Amino acid sequence: MRPLRAVVFDVDGTLVDSERDGHRVAFNAAFEEAGLPDRWDVATYGTLLRIAGGERRLAFWFEASGRLPGEARELAARLHPQKTRLMRELVEAGRIAPRPGARELLAELAAHGVAVHVATTGTRAWVEPLLDTAFGPCFTTVVTGTEVPDLKPSPAVYERVLTLTGLAPHETVAVEDSANGVRAAVAAGLRCLAARNAYTADDDFSGASVDATGLDDPRLVGWVRGRLPAGPGG
């Protein structure tokens, strides 16, 4: 078995539980700032997560709740930058915590000299401060939706990471929390470890090499440990 050289992480729902306590809260604050009556409770937001991308999610919601298509798109385009600013404020206030096992997994990879990168369709304006606040400067290459606007399940964001790092798919593994994320990684030729969360518990992870309940699940940790190179700490 060839050892791993790199792990590429998704951010939302994978490294941090950012959906329920970050994005959802920021969307609701944006509605409130704009004087709109819309609010997303935890269950409603769970169903909306099937729509990838914040602006598309807003437009879908506005149209589904009775606005005309043009008005829905205009409202979404106006609110999304406000939501991004509010998300950044939550991040900088330290309100978005790492998922259980995330820091331990990153530390173990670092101890064995395995590089860690990020492939997210989130916006750089909040992704960078979030990674800094929650994990410090441990990620070598961070590709966000700001540079690669094609949303997962498009493989584009993973392909950009492979191009920038020069890594081959067989020496790299992705970690994702959603069906769209797993499909994106697999379409880029990567193996993918799935770390389900409450919102993605029922997703179809048939393309994943490991189907785990989190980053601290022994199935996921064991898969990684079995492929670690003998690094400075090993």
Residues that bind Mg ion (CB under 5 A): 10, 12-13, 177-178, 181
Kindly state the smallest distance separating residue 197's Cβ from Mg ion, in Å: 8
In the annotation, is 202 catalytic? no
Edge-to-edge order in the sheet of strand 210-212: 142-143, 115-119, 6-9, 172-176, 191-195, 210-212
In the annotation, is 177 catalytic? no
Query: Where do runs of H (alpha helix) occur along the chain?
Result: 18, 24-33, 42-48, 54-64, 69-92, 102-111, 124-135, 156-165, 179-187, 218-225
The CB-nearest residue to Mg ion is 13
Kindly state the smallest distance separating residue 215's Cβ from Mg ion, in Å: 12
Kindly state the smallest distance separating residue 49's Cβ from Mg ion, in Å: 9
DSSP 139: -
> Whose Cβ is closer to Mg ion: residue 120's or residue 141's?
120
> Whose Cβ is closer to Mg ion: residue 10's or residue 159's?
10
> Whose Cβ is closer to Mg ion: residue 84's or residue 178's?
178
User: What is the rounded distance in angstroms from the CA atom of residue 12 to the CA atom of residue 197?
Assistant: 11
Which of the residues are catalytic? 10, 12
